Amino acid sequence: MSKATKTTRITTAITLLATLGVVAFGAQAGATDSISKAVKESSVNLEFRYRYELNDQDNGLKDGKASTLKTRLTVKTGKVNNFSAVVEVDHVAAFGSENYNNATGTGNDMYSVVADPDGLDLNQAYISYTGFENTTLSAGRQRLAHNGHRFLGTVGWRQNEQTYDAYRVQVQATDSVNVDYSYIYNANRIFGVDSAKGDLHGDFHALNVKFTPAKEHKFAFFAYLLDFDTAAANSSDTYGVDYKFATKVNNNTSVGMNLSYAMQSDGGDNPVSYDASYYLAEVNGKSGNFFGSIGYEVLGSDDGNKAFSTPFATLHKFNGWADMFLGTPNTGLEDLYVKIGTKVAGLKLTAVYHDYSANEGSADYGTELDLVAAYKVNKQVGLLVKYATYNADAYKVDTDKLWLMATMKF
Residue 4 pLDDT: 44
pLDDT in tens, 211-241: 999 999 999 999 999 999 999 999 999 999 9
Q: Which of 70, 66, 63, 71 is nearest to 53 (CA)?
A: 66
Residue 321 pLDDT: 98
CB 341, CB 292: distance < 8 Å: yes
Share of the chain above pLDDT 90, in %: 86
pLDDT > 50? residue 328: yes
Q: Of all helices (H) and strands (E), which one includes residue 27?
A: helix 3-28
How many angstroms separate the CA atoms of 159 and 44, rounded?
A: 20
How many angstroms separate the CA atoms of 399 and 385, rounded?
A: 17
- Calculate the alpha carbon distances from 364 to 47, 140, 303, 354, 357 in Å: 42, 44, 17, 12, 4
pLDDT in tens, 27-48: 454 557 777 787 888 999 999 9
Q: Which of 155, 154, 153, 159 is nearest to 120 (CA)?
A: 159
Q: Of all helices (H) and strands (E), which one includes residue 87?
A: strand 83-94
pLDDT > 50? residue 3: no
Confidence tier at 168 by pLDDT (50, 70, 90): very high
**Average pLDDT taken over every residue of the chain:** 92
pLDDT > 80? residue 89: yes
Domains and CATH numbers, the chain: 3-116+126-132+229-409 (2.40.160.10)
